[in-house]
Amino acid sequence: MKYIYCLLLSFISTSLLGQVITEELENEIKRRVELEINPSISIGVLLPNGNTKFYGFGYFENNKKQPDSLTLYEIGSVTKTFTATLTEIYLKDSLDSPLSSFYSATKYPNLDSITPSELRNHIAGVPRLSNQFSPKDWSDPFNGYSNDILQVELQNLNPDTSNIWKYSNLGYGLLGRTIEIVTGKSFENLMSGLLDDVGMDNTFLSVPTEENQNIAKPTNIGTANSNWNFTGPSRYAGGLVSNTKDLLRYLQYQKQNNPLFSSDDLQNLIQTGVPNLGKDRLFYKDGWFVLKPDSITSVLLHNGGTGGFISFVGYNRNTGTGVVILSNSVNVVDDIGINILYPTFKINHPERTITYELAEEIDAGNIGSLVSKYQKLKSEEYPNNVLDTYWLERFHFGKGNYNISTQLSDIMIQELPDDWEVHDIKGQNLEQLGDYKNAIIAYKKALKLNPEMEVLNEKIKRCTTLYKR
C-alpha cells in the first residue's frame, strides 16, 4: 500500500517549538502529517502575556506549500461563536423573547416556544438539521440554502420543549436570520462589521475565488475534496474562512469583551452529555463549549468541520493561554489543542482506516470491487471507521459517481444495518441509478427506522411514480 509521505517543515525552530509543544505532541503531529491523516496543520498560540506564536506542519497544496499564519482554511462551526457574539450585540434585550415576536405568529405557530437564548444554547428543541434537509449536491450540501427554504422548514417545525441540550445547525441558521430581521441588516453587514471590530483583515465570508488567495486545498481521507459554499442562513452556522493569525485576534477580542473569558465564575452551565472529552466534563454556555477536566480548570472551546477541513479554537481561563488549530482534513484536532492548553490531556493516535485504502483504489481507477476490497481489509483487522466511509460516499454521490457511491452505501449498510440514514443513502443511490423498485424498498426501511423523517414519504412517492411509468 502506497503512502505519500510529507516531510515536516516548520518556520519555527525546534527549540522554540519545544517551549509550547511537547516532544510527544510534536511526534504525533509529524505522524499524522506523514500518513496524510492531516496533510497540513497550522497552529497559533496566544500566550498569557499577549504574545503569539505560529507553527506550520506539512503541506497544504500539492505537496508544495507549507502553511503559515495566513494560510486560509474553512472553519465550519467555529462560525457559530461569531453568531453567538452577534446575538449578544444585537439581541441582548430580546434574548428571552419568543421568536413569535419577530416572525408571523399565525404563519409559524410553533415559534412562540423558542427564544434567541435557547437557540444560542442549543436547548430550543430544534433538530440538528431540518427533516426537510435534502441537498442537491451532497459534496457541497449547504450551497443553495436560502431564506425561502428556512421558511418552509419553520412551517413544519415541531420543537422539543424539554430544554435538553441538542446541537443544531438549523438552530443557528434560524438565530442568524432572526438577527437580520431585528436589525434590518444582511449577513454581509453584520459579520463584516464584527470582523472589522476584531481586526480580522484576512477572514472571508465565503470561500475566496481569486486564484492568488493562500487557501488550503480541501482534503478528506487522503483524497481531494470539495469546498463547501454556505448560502442563506446556513452561513451563520458554518460559513467563515479564516487563518490562525486572525483567529488569535478573535480570541483576544473574546478575552477583552466576553464575560465567559473573564476570571468570574461560570454560572448556569448546560450539561451536554457528550462523553468524547470525558464523562460529564463537557458543558455549554452562550455559544461556547466549556471543558472542565478537573475541579478548578475551565477551558472554553469550539470546533468545526466541513467536507475537507477541520478547526479548533480554545482558551484556558485559568492560564490565559489560547490555541487555534486548522487543518485541511476532517480528522479532528481537538486533542492537540486541548493538550497544549492542558498538558495532561491524553493525545489520540488516529490511524489510516480502511476507507483511506478504498479512496486510494478509487483515485487509481480501481472501482469495480470496493466491497470485496473492504471485506478483505476488515478480515485483516485493518482499522475501520464507518464515518470515513460516509464522508467518502457523500462526496462521490454529490459528484455523480454513483457506481462508486452505491458500493460505499453497501459497505455502510453492512456496518450499520439498523441506521435509518444509511438506508436512505442506499435509496438515493438506487434512485439515481434508475432502480426505483429497490429504491422504494430502501426508503421504506429508512422510514420504518425513523417514522418522523417526513421527506422519506416524498421520496417513496416520487420513486413509485417513476416505477409505474
Angle, helices 244-257/187-198, rounded to nearest 10 degrees: 80
pLDDT of residue 405: 97
Position 202 in a domain: no
Predicted pLDDT of residue 22: 93
Confidence of residue 63 (pLDDT cuts 50, 70, 90): low
- Name the grid cell of 91: 439581541
Report the domain count for the chain: 1
Q: Determine what percent of the chain is predicted with pLDDT higher than 90.
A: 83
Residue 37, burial from CB neighbour count under 10 angstroms (0-12, 13-18, 19+) = buried
The predicted structure's pLDDT at residue 376 = 95
The pLDDT-based confidence of 5 (bands split at 50, 70, 90) is very low
The CATH number of whichever domain residue 399 belongs to comes to 1.25.40.10
| Average pLDDT over every residue of 40-44 | 97
pLDDT number for residue 354? 96
Mean pLDDT across 209-221: 85
Q: Residue 212: what pLDDT?
A: 63
Q: Is the pLDDT of residue 10 over 70?
A: no
pLDDT band per the 50, 70, 90 thresholds, residue 187 = very high
Q: Is residue 271 part of a domain?
A: no
Q: Is 159 inside any structural domain? A: no
- Does residue 114 lie in a domain region? no
Asked whether residue 213 is assigned to any structural domain, the reply reads: no
308: pLDDT strictly greater than 70: yes
Dist CA 219 CA 223 (whole Å):
6
Q: What is the pLDDT of residues 113-143, one digit of tens each?
A: 999 999 999 999 999 998 778 888 889 999 9
pLDDT of residue 243: 98
For 387-407, the pLDDT digits (tens) are 999 999 999 999 999 999 999
Threshold 0.85, pTM exceeds = yes
- Answer whether residue 2 shows pLDDT above 50: no
Average pLDDT over residues 197-224: 90
Which pLDDT belongs to residue 9?
31
Confidence category of residue 105, pLDDT binned at 50, 70, 90: low
Confidence of residue 19 (pLDDT cuts 50, 70, 90): low
447 domain residue, yes or no: yes
The verdict on residue 415 lying in a domain is yes
Give bridge partners of residue 55 from the DSSP assignment: 43
pLDDT for residue 175: 98
pLDDT at 6 over 50: no
Range picked from 50-64, 208-222, 409-423 for highest mean pLDDT: 409-423
Is the separation of the CB atoms in 59 and 65 below 8 Å?
A: yes
* Domain that residue 381 falls in: 354-468
Query: Is 91 domain-assigned?
Result: no
- The arithmetic mean of pLDDT across residues 277-284, rounded, is 93
Identify whether the C-beta of residue 292 lies closer than 8 Å to the C-beta of residue 286: no
Looking at residue 134, its pLDDT comes to: 80
Instruction: Write the secondary structure of 23-79 as one string of H (helix), E (strand) and C (coil).
Output: HHHHHHHHHHHHCCCCCEEEEEEECCCCCEEEEEEECCECCCECCCCCCEEECHHHH
pLDDT score recorded for residue 320: 95
| pLDDT mean over 158-179 | 95
* Cβ atoms within 10 Å of 244's Cβ, excluding its own: 30
